[in-house]
């Protein structure tokens, strides 16, 4: 039985695209991540939200607004960020992504959803030298999950990420998601069985990726079936 849950992003750019989504294509995903930032503005996100939740009502749903601060597609004030997350949280997503170092002040205002919160940190340029310290700050918030995604520039970046994820999992339990992006980091996406990383993110197909180095859903199913099946 697989240990690692497979997360598939949904990336519509218009409300019309939301309405046209073919849910059947996602049926083998464990979790659907709605990357709401691809819609580009708050009004469109709120307009699309009821359709997304209806479309994927039989799936576990992660709500993510990846901002320009961390490699996403929308720039948003701290006030609007909190307001948006609060409004969508009322629709009942299973998980809610919060960019901890970009919008730390959002967390105290969403504590009623603490067990659903995925505290995240994304660095599309490098593996920071203070990654362990950053993860420790996030862990101390005691949310449901902690996610870090760094850009692997060297092999040691990947090895360090794998070891750090393993260390935190052994100390605090299975709540960490550690990803090294890019070609070098692909191994991190399939190593959850060893490191304890609980989720892996894949592209629905070659045209639907949301981050560098993602495998496709069919590829990941084959690999995890071989490694964890």
Out of 147, 175, 186, 206, the active site residue is 147
Q: Name the token pair of 152.
A: 């692997």
Q: Name the token pair of 107.
A: 């967390």
Give the number of other Cβ atoms within 10 Å of residue 171's Cβ: 10
Q: Is 57 a catalytic residue?
A: no
- CA–CA separation, 103 and 51 (whole Å): 27
Give the number of other Cβ atoms within 10 Å of residue 182's Cβ: 17
Burial tier of 137 (Cβ tally within 10 Å: 0-12, 13-18, 19+): middle
Total residues found in the chain within this entry: 229
Out of 122, 137, 175, 206, the active site residue is 122
Q: Is 147 a catalytic residue?
A: yes
Half-sphere exposure in the Cβ direction for 191 (13 Å, CA): 19
**b/e map 2-18, b = 16+ CB within 10 Å:** eebbbbbbbbbeebeeb
Catalytic positions, written as ranges: 122, 147
């Amino acid at each position: 039985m697989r240990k690692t849950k497979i997360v598939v992003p949904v990336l519509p750019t218009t409300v019309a695209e939301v309405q046209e989504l073919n849910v059947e294509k996602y049926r083998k995903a464990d979790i659907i991540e709605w990357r709401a930032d691809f819609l580009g503005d708050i009004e469109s996100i709120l307009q699309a939200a009821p359709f997304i939740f209806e479309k994927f009502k039989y799936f576990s749903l992660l709500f993510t607004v990846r901002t320009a601060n961390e490699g996403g597609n929308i720039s948003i004030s701290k006030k609007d960020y909190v307001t948006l997350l609060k409004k969508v949280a009322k629709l009942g997503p299973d998980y809610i992504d919060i960019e901890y170092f970009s919008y730390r002040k959002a967390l105290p205002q969403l504590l009623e959803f603490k067990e659903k919160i995925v505290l995240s940190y994304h660095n599309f340029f490098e593996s920071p030298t203070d990654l362990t310290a950053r993860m420790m700050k996030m862990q101390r918030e005691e949310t449901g999950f902690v996610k870090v995604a760094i850009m692997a520039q060297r092999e040691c970046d990947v090895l360090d990420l794998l070891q750090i994820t393993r260390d935190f999992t052994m100390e605090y339990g299975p709540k960490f998601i550690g990803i090294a992006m890019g070609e070098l980091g692909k191994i991190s996406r399939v190593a959850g069985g060893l490191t304890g990383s609980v989720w892996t993110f894949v592209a629905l197909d070659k045209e639907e990726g949301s981050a560098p180095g993602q495998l496709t859903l069919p590829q990941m199913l084959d690999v995890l079936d071989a490694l964890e099946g």
